[in-house]
Structure 1
Amino acid sequence: MNAARRCALYQALQSLDPHPTTELEYQTPFELLIAVMLSAQATDVSVNKATRILFARANTPRALLELGADGLRPYIQSIGLYRTKARNIIAACAMLLERYQGQVPAERAALESLPGVGRKTANVVLNTAFGQPVIAVDTHIFRVANRTGLAPGRTVREVEKALEAATPREFQRHAHHWLILHGRYVCKARRPECWHCAIAPLCEFQSKTPPP
């Protein structure tokens, strides 16, 4: 996909949603961090359902640490891998208190040093909580980037690098959310809904689907 088409693609997504954001519910960077950690292999809907109750009980590193893994598990047991996530969250809370005065750091290396926080989670927090122009590549973004021809790559890291290079500066702040929402609701895995896709005329996907 050439530069002019990439720019037009982002302009089309921007016209639909000028100020996109995550569907995870949060009030502070810490709440966002916990929600993103819980969202691995889980839906935003299931995470929101759990965190509404959890955050009413404990929504700071110290409060969650005092709750402990045993106390945390009942709140998140409806979410996949909840036992491992509970251990990682409690360990991350301890580290936030010990190293970062209970504050979520706005640096990638610091975020990735926390138990249970990988590059994708760090990118989501950096982008959504701190406004940094980074793109967290999940399965939706990986699919959209490859299917449309926007930023092809064989691995998540390759796609992330390709998106960083392909996305014009003025669109980098919101590219993550535009692409993830497009993949979630339009460019779906099993059957992309090409018949009502705003970027269909720009997309390089050859087997566009007709209306059902």
Structure 2
Amino acid sequence: MAALRKWLFSGLLVIVPVIITAWVLTWVVGLLDQTLEILPEAWQPDRLLGFHVPGFGVVLTLLILLVVGALASNFFGRKLVAMGDALVSRIPVVRSIYSSVKQVSETLFSESGNAFRTAVLVQWPRDGVWTVAFITGQPNGEVAGYLRDEFVSIYVPTTPNPTSGYFVLMRKSECIELEMSIDEALKYIVSMGVVAPPDPVLADASRVTE
């Protein structure tokens, strides 16, 4: 029985990640394939080939992103984007949604964005309880005027879904900066502490011995 149990869990460790990865990739490819509907019917790959080949939507999405990015990067493209922003900002309800999404997108995807600068160790939700969080910037404006000490903006993700979490302002002196990368910290959080990043001291020691 002990051997059967061991084999069962060993099989699960191999099969479950493969199944979940395949399911996620299938869902993403299927979702992106829906972008093919914007093409004229005569240009549909399924119609031209006579059968469905998954993945054309991924290629089309990448091409659209590259073309839009190239157009928005030049002088005339920036002017058009500015005109579009000005037009949307005049629509009462839409401007609130659009401006919020645009600010978050610029923070996450722009090269000068401040999202997830550094992984830190903080006491949350009370003293004596520690968790891994991320510095996202510094408070400014009216909020900064009320804070006398040096504070930083902190995002505390939840486990195992790091896309939800809490935004808090903490004293910088209360945050312990970690040497682990953002990717390593996210893996640590998603795995609920199972996949621990390597110890930087041991890693440096191994490099020296090599």
Provide TM-score, normalisation by structure 1. Answer: 0.26
Which is richer in strand? 2
Provide TM-score, normalisation by structure 2. Answer: 0.26
Q: Which has the higher Rg, Structure 1 or Structure 2?
A: 2
**Structure number with higher relative contact order (C-alpha < 8 Å, ≥ 6 residues apart):** 1
